[in-house]
Structures are given as structure tokens and as C-alpha cells.
Amino acid sequence: MSETTTQQAATPATTPRGRGPVVAGLMLVMGLTALDGTVVSTAVPQIVGDLGGLTVFSWLFSGYLLAVTVTLPVYGKLCDTFGRKPVLIAGTVLFLVGSLLCAAAWNMASLIAFRIVQGLGGGALQGTVQTIAADLYPLRERPKIQAKLSSVWATASVAGPAAGGLLAGYADWRWIFLINLPVGLVALWLVGRFLVEPRRRPTPAEAEAASGAGGTSSGRPSVDWAGAVAIFATGALLLTALVQGGVAWPWLSAPSLGLFGGAFALAGLTVLVERRAAEPIIPGWIWRRRTIAAVNLALGALGLLMVAPTVFLPTYAQAVLGLGPIAAGFVLSAMTLSWPVTAALSNRVYTRIGFRLTAVVGITLALLVLLAFPLLPFPGEPWQPALLMLLLGGALGFFQLPLIVGVQSTVPYEERGTTTASVLFCRQVGQSVGAALFGAVANGVLAAHLGGSTHLDSLAYALDHADDGLRRAVDAAVGHVFLGAAGAAALALLALLVVAPRRFPVLEEEGERRGGE
């Protein structure tokens, strides 16, 4: 099978000798963001005990996630405008400054504010690392680096809770932030010393402006700062509405309606600003090109369905199976063990049948696994959901990686940062929508079984001593959530079958003609 080949795509001039240290630096940077959530979540009891703020501690995660998500498109465009290296270095420095400030926090409000600073740097790390990974390796070798990055997430999911518990229990919770500093400094040195980027070529808009000025243009890249502010404000309002709706206030209350209304109004303003910008942060071609649009929709659905295992499975394992928090985490970690393996092997599949069909096979298998979860016996054995998570991770490895590698291979170097950021942005937004949607589903099922307006979060204290009625209610609630996740998988499958082209229009890379990638 040969994907369609079009124009030539440039790659950076990093030598093979320097590629290994750069990859090590990228893995360290990715480790900073991968460990962040799992380490902090384990130390929450110690943090609250020291600083107080029990009613608002959830913003330690919500504020960070919001900052990461709304900055992804901005950093993606900056990568294409100024290069990956300065953006990654600036983002890492900002993340480390935020970590140092978090360690010095004096109350919960200051810690939340500094977590947002961390998130502003984290938005640069996630998208830029993925973009550089695509720059470093030719198409047939990209699964190697992607598998290494996936292994970082797998390791973090297992080691993070243990590391957070040890640091908080035997040292001080502030060390969970201070430990970022030596890791980040080593990563900065590796990237700064060994990463070499090609000279930036002007975008079509810049070239047109230069020719219109008789060739006397300074050639300075333009930045759509108005669009960046509009996107940031729109995303902030929308994600705040999704994260806090049904938790801090009812969905149909004035705060929710006001936030959603403001977000939609700002979205309309953002579209107007972006249409008039010479170099928009989110250019129109992101949605006009079928391949990119289909991948954005499919990975948005992936973010949606991932809420079911990552958010609700630990509660299921504790309430229904009677496991402790650590054992419940290991049930979920089965997914992260198989995901990197199938991701690394996926190139042997998509080189034969293509990116789209490989992803279709992966998401179809994931759909079947998600549909099987509600069929598990009550109360069941821990190996049963663990086996399903192992299968789910394997299926999603065949789904996500071919789409990311494939869509990155359809754009030239000058558009790769924007494209990668749009994919990650859609996945993050899907995750936020999924948390709100499936949270409402779970709470509705619980209320139907237990009566009243029961919320899953409010039952956390009772999981250790759950009676049979509560266990059956949680089992039913999580089962409905997994059915919803199966619906999200069906949406991803539909996007690939209806929107995506049969063959991805892969660009020919410099120094290498490839038709079968």
C-alpha cells in the first residue's frame, strides 16, 4: 500500500550523532508533564493539610489543564513562526519557574495561581515535543520515537503515584515540585546543545508581502497576537464552564449560562479576527483539509472516551471490586503497558494497509472492548477489567499513533507545529467535554439508584465501606459511562470513514523518495 505522495517536505539538519541526546532531552521534558498530574494527585491530602483550601483544591488540576489546553494552538503557531527550539526552551523555563513558585506557595490560592503558571509552560512542552519528534525522524522511523514517548507516559502512570506518596509522606510535598528543577535543567542543556534546526523559510503570506513591497520587506515573521488573546479567552471561558458546571454550580444556573454564552460570543469574535489576520493562530486550512479535519475529530473523540478508564475505572475498582487505591491504579496501568507496544508495532501495519485503515482497525477493536465492559459480572474479579484495559491499550496504540504520524506527514515543516497543536488541542477539549458529560451521566444513574441528587465525588469517603446497594449503583453508573465511551469511539470511527480520505496525502521528504509510507 502506498500513500499518495505530493510536494517535498523539509526536515531539520540535526545529525544522527546529535539525535540521541535530543531524544533523551525530549523524553525528560515529556516526563515533566507526564508525572505532573499523578504525582500531585497523590500528595493532595498533605497539601490540603498544610495549606487548607479543601473546597477549591480541584483547581490544582483544573487550572493547570485549562492553561495547557488554551495555549496549545498559540504555541503551535509560534513553533512554525520562530522555530521549535526557542519555543521548547521558553516553555520549559516557564514550567520550571512555575514549579519553583509552587514549592514556595503559602496558601491554596497562591498554589493554584502558580499551577496555572506551570500550565502556561506545559502547553509549550506537549505540542512542541511531538512536533520535534516528527522533525527528527523520517516517516518510517517515527514509530520508534513515538513509542519512546509513549513509554514515558506508561512509566509515569505507574511510578507517579508511588513517587508522590514517598515524597509527600517521607520528605515534604513541596519536593514534588522541586524535583522538576534538576530534570528540567538537564533537558534544557541537551536540547540547547544538540538540537539544530533548519533556516526558517517564509510562509506564503510573508512571501507575498515581501514581493508586494518590492522585495524590501524585513522578512520578520508576523504574530497574530489579537487572535492569540481571543483564543485564550474563548478557551478559558469554555473550559471553566465545562470543568465547574455541575460541580461548583448547577448546569442551568446563571454562572454556567453566562460562561457558555460568553464563550460562544468570543468564539464568533475569534473567527472574525482570524479571518482578517495575515498569519492566523488557527488558520482556515486546518479544517478545509480533509485529512487534518478528520484526525482532529477522531482524536477529539479519543479524548472523550479516555475519560471513562482514567477517571471512572479507579472508582469502580475501589467501590465494586473492593481494591485499595494503589491496586486500583494497577488495574488502570494495564492499558499503559500495551499501548506503547502496539504503537511501536503499528508501522508494520500502516506501511501495508495505510494510516486510515490501521486507525479504523484500532478504533473498531476499542469500540468492542468498551462495549464489553458493562457485561462484566458483578462484582467480578480484578483480572477481568485489567484484561479489558490491556486490550483497550493495545487497540488505541493502533489508533492514535498512525493518525498523529500520518497527519504530521501530510504537511511541510512550516505547518507541522500548527497541525500537531490542533490535534492535541482537540484531544484536550474532548477530554474536558467528556469529564463534564460522563460526570453528568454517572451522577444521573447514581441518583436513580440511590435517590436524591447523589454525586459520585461525594461518595468517595464511603468507598472503603460500601454496602451492596452502593456498589451496585457505582457498577451501573460506570457501566453507563463506558457505553458513552463506546459512543465516542463510534464517532471517531465515523469521522475516519466519512471525512478522512482513503489515502493520506503524504509529502515526499528531503533526500528520500518514499511511496509506501
Digit-coded pLDDT (tens) for 125-140: 988 998 898 888 887 7
Distance CA 448, CA 506 (A): 51
For 116, residues 6+ apart whose C-beta sits below 8 A from its C-beta are: 63, 64, 66, 67, 98
| Band (227; pLDDT cuts 50, 70, 90) | confident
- Please determine, for residue 283, whether its predicted confidence score (pLDDT) is greater than 60: yes
CA nearest 232: which of 282, 180, 169?
A: 282
Distance CA 403, CA 292 (A): 9
On whether the CB atoms of residues 484 and 437 are closer than 8 A, the answer is: yes
On whether the CB atoms of residues 434 and 280 are closer than 8 A, the answer is: no
What pLDDT does 296 receive? 95
Q: Cis omega (within 30 of 0) on the bond before 374? A: no
Q: What is the 3-state secondary structure (H, E, C) of 245-290?
A: ECCCECCCCHHHHHHHHHHHHHHHHHHHHHHHCCCCCCCCHHHHCH
Residue 134 or 151, more confident: 134
Distance CA 238, CA 216 (A): 43
Average pLDDT over every residue of 202-207: 54
Cα 74–chain centre separation:
15
Positive/negative CA dihedral, 271, 273, 274, 275: positive
pLDDT in tens, 356-411: 999 999 999 999 999 999 999 888 888 899 999 999 999 998 999 899 999 999 99
| The model's pTM | 0.84
What pLDDT does 205 receive? 52
What pLDDT does 462 receive? 53
Distance CA 82, CA 95 (A): 19
Cα 439–chain centre separation:
19
Residue given cell 446497594 in the structure block: 469
